[in-house]
Structure formats: C-alpha cells, structure tokens
A and B are shown apart, each in its own frame.
Chain A
Amino acid sequence: MKEVKNVNVIGLTITGKTEDDRVVRSDNDSNINEENKMDTKKLEPIAFIFQLFSGILLAVFVASHIYITHLNEEALKYESVVERLSNSTIKVIYFLFLVIVCFHAFNGLRAILLDTNFGKRNARMVNLLCLIISIVSILYGATLLISF
C-alpha cells in the first residue's frame, strides 16, 4: 500500500503520515464556495486536535460509565442513579463528560457533513447548526444535572 503524505481530514489538509486509502475528499471541488471554504479553515486545526484528544478522554469516560451503570442490577435503579447524580464530585465529572461528548459528537457530525457536496456549499450553515446543537445539548444535559 502506498503511503499518503497529504490527505484531507475533516476539511483540513494534514501533512504527514496518516490513514491509507481514505475516501478522498477534494479541496478543488468547483462547487465549493471559496469564501465559505476559507471561513471554515480558520479553526480547523484546533477542532481537529480537540477531536483527537476528546476522543481519548471519551474512551476512558464511556468505558467507566458503561462499567458503572452495568456493574449490577442495583446500578440502574432510580435510587442509585439519583444518589450518583446528587454527589457533587460525580456531578462535575458528568458535566465534563457531557461537554466533551457533545463537542466530539457534533464536531464529528460537522466533519462528515462538510465532506458532502451539500456541506461544502453550505459550510457556514453547517458550522453554525452543529455549534447550536452542541450548545443546546450541553445546556439541556446541564439542567438535568443541576436538578439533582
């Protein structure tokens, strides 16, 4: 297999070793609105790095979450869930978990949408929409957390 040195990852051209045989996404698509393209590229390196590191954190968070909630039958009981959510330390951990998972999920969605022709033509709208969904999800989850 040949080594790909320059590939486009979530709209960002990465120079270096990376996945082989990825679905190729072209920066030269004639339909791309150049203004939108430039607009989306400004924060892409930061979003990409955050996506990587939030992914690592989530692997730990999600594994722990599944383990704790499936440890025994009691773990899913109403009283146990409320007891966990009433603990301030756990509440803070869950809030961090919520922020990280929402960022990772909706930044991932954004990356996928920006890879489509629709996303390339409407990059600004896609970015805004994913940001709004992300903020709404965080606020919604946070109100749930503070209600205990």
Chain B
Amino acid sequence: MLVDWFRIKGRSLHSLAFSFHRLTGIVLMIYLILHLTYLTSLRFGKESYEYLISLTVRPETLPFDLLLLLATVFHGVNGIRLVIHELGFVYEKRNLILYLTFGIVLIVWLYAGYLMFLLIMG
C-alpha cells in the first residue's frame, strides 16, 4: 500500500498531491522531533547551542534547508487546499485550485528560499 505512494504512472495530479502531502507530513514530523531535540542544546548554554547552529546553519546545509522549506510550504499550502475542499468549497473548480496551489507553492518557496539564501550566504 505504501509503495503506491511512489507510483506515478496512471495517476492524476490530485492523487499525486495526496501522496506528496503524506510524504511531506512524515518528513516534517521527523523534523519536529529533531527540532525539539536540537533545542535541548539551549539548556546546556550558549556554547553548545552555537556549536549546533554553526553545524546546521551553513552554506553546505542550504540545499537541505531549501528541500525542507519546500516540504513545509507544500504541506501548508496543499493542506489549506484540502481544508477548503473538505469544507465543501469550490470543489467544482478543484483542477484550477490544484494548479493555483502548485503556483503559490513555487512562488512562496522561491521567495522564502531567496531570503534563506541571503541569511546563510550573507
């Protein structure tokens, strides 16, 4: 059943969006656990926190940050689309809304990614 999520052939964009929503959800859940663990360093003082920051906020980790950002933006924007449909709104225009979702995801991701790039690369 899980293997079906990775099958692309013969599936509609709606079905793929559903699979990606779940996959990004799992990625974000794992990140949440890591994030909470990571924040523990704050309790051990400035040195341990800044050591972890120096390891994770650097040009080499930027591609991973951007991928995580994409997962976050996709899950958020697609989630709002799902809520809108589940509440019974604009279902008859679901294809248009789906394309609009992809467009918004791309724009938000590029903008936020640009800001992140500026922050990390100085």
Partners in one complex: yes
Binding site for B on A (CB under 8 A): 1, 3, 9, 14, 16-23, 52, 55-56, 58-59, 62-63, 66, 70, 72-73, 76-79, 81-82, 85, 101-102, 105-106, 108-109, 112, 115-117, 137, 140-141, 144, 147-148
Contact of B1 with A59 in the complex, beta carbons under 8 Å = no
Partner of B36, one of A23, A72, A116, A137: A137
Q: A22-B18, A105-B28, A115-B1 are in contact. Are A73 and B49 (CB under 8 A)?
A: no
Closest A residue, CB atoms, query B89? A17
Q: Mark B59-76, 1 if CB is under 8 A from A, else 0.
A: 000000000010010001
Partner of B4, one of A3, A23, A105, A109: A23
Contact of B36 with A109 in the complex, beta carbons under 8 Å = no
Contact of A56 with B80 in the complex, beta carbons under 8 Å = yes
Contact of B42 with A70 in the complex, beta carbons under 8 Å = no
Interface size class of B (residues with CB under 8 A): 35 or more
Contacts A/B (CB < 8 Å), 21 sampled: A14-B86, A17-B85, A17-B91, A20-B14, A20-B94, A21-B12, A21-B15, A22-B18, A23-B1, A76-B53, A76-B57, A78-B49, A79-B46, A82-B42, A85-B42, A105-B29, A109-B29, A117-B1, A141-B36, A144-B39, A144-B43
What's the Cα separation between A79 and B50 when bound, in Å?
Answer: 10
What's the Cα separation between A90 and B35 when bound, in Å?
Answer: 18
Query: CB-CB < 8 A to B28: which residues of A?
Result: 105
Partner of B119, one of A18, A70, A105, A112: A70
Contact of B119 with A72 in the complex, beta carbons under 8 Å = yes
Query: CB-CB < 8 A to B96: which residues of A?
Result: none
Contact of A55 with B79 in the complex, beta carbons under 8 Å = yes
Query: CB-CB < 8 A to B76: which residues of A?
Result: 58-59, 62-63
Query: CB-CB < 8 A to A81: which residues of B?
Result: 42, 49
Contact of B115 with A19 in the complex, beta carbons under 8 Å = no
Contact of A19 with B49 in the complex, beta carbons under 8 Å = no
| Minimum C-beta distance from B85 to chain A (A) | 6
What's the Cα separation between A62 and B74 when bound, in Å?
Answer: 13
Contact of A106 with B29 in the complex, beta carbons under 8 Å = yes
Query: CB-CB < 8 A to A144: which residues of B?
Result: 36, 39-40, 42-43
| Minimum C-beta distance from B111 to chain A (A) | 11
What's the Cα separation between A39 and B40 when bound, in Å?
Answer: 37
